[in-house]
Chains A and B, each alone.
Chain A
Amino acid sequence: MTRPSIPLGLVFSRSGPYAMMGREMEKSALMAVDEVNQSEEFDFIFTPHLRDPGGVVPAYHTACDDLIRETKTEHIVGCYTSASRKMVIPIVERTERLLWHPARYEGFESSDNVIYVGAAPNHTVVPLVRHMLEHIASDVFCAGSNYVWTWETNRVLREIVTSAGGRILAERLLELGETAVDHIVSEIIERRPPAVFNTLVGESSYAFMRALHEASARVGLSIPMLSCSLCEPELKMIGAAASVGCVTSSAYFESVGGAENHAFVARWKARHGADSVVSVDSQSTYVCVMLLARAIRRAGSTAVTAVRRAAANHRYDSPQGPVWVDPDNNHCFLTPRLARSVPGCQFRIFWEADAPERPDPYLSNLDLAAIGEKLVKRIDAVGKRPTHLRVVK
C-alpha cells in the first residue's frame, strides 16, 4: 500500500555567510524525513522541497513564496537568523501556513504561524547569567557581534547583573564577520575582567577565542568565558586549545545523556560519518520535523489549525529530552543546560534543569529579586560584600 505524500518545505542557506549551519540543519531535516518515511508508525510520507536563500535576507521571502505557490506546502521548516524569520512571518501569516523554527533566538516575538522549537531567552541567557553571578563573578566584560541577538542578550545580561549589584565593565561590538579582534583582546588583557561574555558569532567569535587564548597564555592569565551560542562543530573550527573551557548555555549538547540521544547520535554518525558532530541547531531541526510528523498523525490532517492544536502540549521524547509546544505562545518547553567545552570538541554538562522549563519569550516571569537575593547570600558566605550594596542594620 502506498502512503500519501505530504509536501514539506525546507528553507536553509547552503551558501552564504552561515552556510555551515545551514548545511548541518538541512542534513538533519532530511535525516528526520527519511526516518519518518521509513517508519511504520506514520501513515504518510514527507516529500521534501529544498530552497537555498544563500543567506540573503529578502531571498527568504522569495523562497517561501515560491514553495507555497509551487508545492502547496502547508508546513515549512527553516530559517536561522531573526532577520530571515521576520522576512518569512508575513507570508506564513497571510497564507495561513506554519513555519517550524529550529534556532534559538532573542525572544520578544510570538506569531500564531510559527512554532518556535529553538530556545527562548529564559532557556539560554538567564541560567547562564545566574550561574556566572553565583559561581564566577558579578562584574563582566562583553564582546559581541553588532546585531539584534547581541543587543538583546546583553540587555538581559545587564538587567540581571546590575539588579544583583554587579557591573558591565565594557560592551565591545564588532560588525558581523569582522575578524580584526586585537583591540578587544588587548583591552581584556589590560583590564583583566573576572569574566568575558561572548556573543560574537561565526568567524568573529573563532578569531576572538583564538586570539584571547594566545594572549592570555602569554601573560599567564585565565579569564572565564561564557557563551550561549557556542556549539560542537564550532569547537572544531576554533581549534583544540582555544576552544576549551568556555561555559556554554544550551538546550542541547551532543553529550546529553539518555537512550534517545545515544541512539540519535549513533544514527547521525552512521549517516554522516564517524567524525561528524551534532549541533544544537541540527538536533533542533530534527525535532521540528518529528514534532510536525507527530502532530499531523495526531490531527489526521495537514491543515494548520488542526496541526497546531494537535502539537499543543503533546510530549515528544526527543534526543534533547521531553519537548512539547506551549499553546500560550507557540514556543517549546525545553530543558536548559550548562556545560563546559572540553578537549575533543565536546561539552561536559555540569548542570541541567530538573524538568523542561516553560518558554518565556517576553521574560515576563523573570524574577530579578530572587537572583539578587541568592547572590547576596553567596557574598555573605564569602564574607565580602560589594560596597555599593547598602547594609541596613
Chain B
Amino acid sequence: MKDEREIPVLRRQLHRLGMSVTEADPEQIIDRKIAVDVIILDADSFSIESDATTALMADVPVIALIGTETPSRLKWLLELRPASFLIKPLRSAGLYTALVVAFDCTLRRIEAAAHIEKLQDRIRSRRVVFNAVLRLMRAHALSEEDAFKLIRRTAMRHRTTIEQLSADIVARGGMPNRGSRTA
C-alpha cells in the first residue's frame, strides 16, 4: 500500500469483517513471504516497469486498487491476474464484494488448475493404457475392444483408475492378482 488516504478506510472496513491486517511497502511485498489470505495492493504505487508476476504469491488472491485507468497501467495489471479490483477513492461499500469475488475467483482458479492437471495426467498416460491394451491382446488373444473392456472392468472392481491399473499391467507384465488393490 502507499496511498495514505486509503489505508484508514481499508483498516476500518477489514477490521469490521474480522480480518487482521499487515501493512507492507510495495517494494517489500515481493520479498516478504508472510502467510496471508489475500493481498490488497495499490496498483498506482508500482512502476509499470516492475515485473507484476513476481509481486503475487501463488494461490493468494490479489485485489487491485485502481486510480489510473490508462491502457498502459491496465496492461500491467492484467499480468498480475487480480482476482478482483476496486476503484479509488475507496468507500465503506464495495470492499466486502471485492473480497467475496476474489476468494471465489481464486478457489475456482485452483479447482480449474487441478482439473487441468488431472486431464494432462490422463493425456500423458494414454501411451501406458495403449501399452497395457496391447499386452492383454497378445497374452489373452483378445480384440482391442475386449482388452480395454477388461481393463475398465478390473479397474472398477479394484477401485482404481484405468491409468493406474494400466501402469500396474505394464510394470508386472500382465493383469495383477485378483483381490490386490492398488492405492
Query: Out of A58, A108, A151, A155, which one reaches B5, CB within 8 Å?
Result: A58
Among A183-224, those with CB < 8 Å from B are none
What sequence of 0s and 1s flags, for each residue 68-110 of chain A, a beta carbon within 8 Å of any chain B beta carbon?
0000000000000011001000100000000000000011110
Query: Out of B4, B67, B70, B88, which one reaches A151, CB within 8 Å?
Result: B70
Count of chain A residues with Cβ under 8 Å from any Cβ of B? 17
Smallest CB–CB gap between A243 and chain B, Å?
28
Name the A residues within 8 Å of B37 (CB-CB): none
Query: Out of B44, B69, B72, B89, which one reaches A109, CB within 8 Å?
Result: B69
- In angstroms, Cα B131 to Cα A277, docked, is 85
Residue A134 at the B interface, CB < 8 A? no
Name the B residues within 8 Å of A148 (CB-CB): 68, 70, 72-73
What sequence of 0s and 1s flags, for each residue 44-83 of chain B, a beta carbon within 8 Å of any chain A beta carbon?
1001110000000000000000011111110100000000
Query: Out of A83, A108, A146, A173, which one reaches B69, CB within 8 Å?
Result: A108
Q: In the complex, which range does the number of interface residues on chain B fall in?
A: 10 to 19
Is B73 within 8 A of A61, CB to CB?
A: no
Query: Main secondary structure on chain B at its contact with chain A?
Result: loop
- In the complex, which residue of chain B has the Cβ closest to the Cβ of A109? B69
Smallest CB–CB gap between A96 and chain B, Å?
16
Most chain A CB inside 10 Å of its own CB: which residue of B5, B48, B75: B48
Smallest CB–CB gap between B93 and chain A, Å?
14
Query: Out of A86, A90, A155, which one reaches B68, CB within 8 Å?
Result: A86
Among A116-165, those with CB < 8 Å from B are 146, 148, 151-152, 154-155
Is A107 within 8 A of B4, CB to CB?
A: no
- In angstroms, Cα B44 to Cα A107, docked, is 16
Is A151 within 8 A of B69, CB to CB?
A: no
Is B72 within 8 A of A152, CB to CB?
A: yes
Is B70 within 8 A of A107, CB to CB?
A: yes
- In angstroms, Cα B88 to Cα A109, docked, is 13
Query: Out of B5, B68, B69, B71, which one reaches A61, CB within 8 Å?
Result: B5
10 sampled A-B residue pairs with Cβ under 8 A: A82-B68, A83-B44, A86-B67, A86-B68, A109-B69, A151-B48, A151-B72, A152-B72, A155-B71, A155-B72
Which A residues fall within an 8 A CB radius of B?
A: 58, 61, 82-83, 86, 90, 106-109, 146, 148, 151-152, 154-155, 173
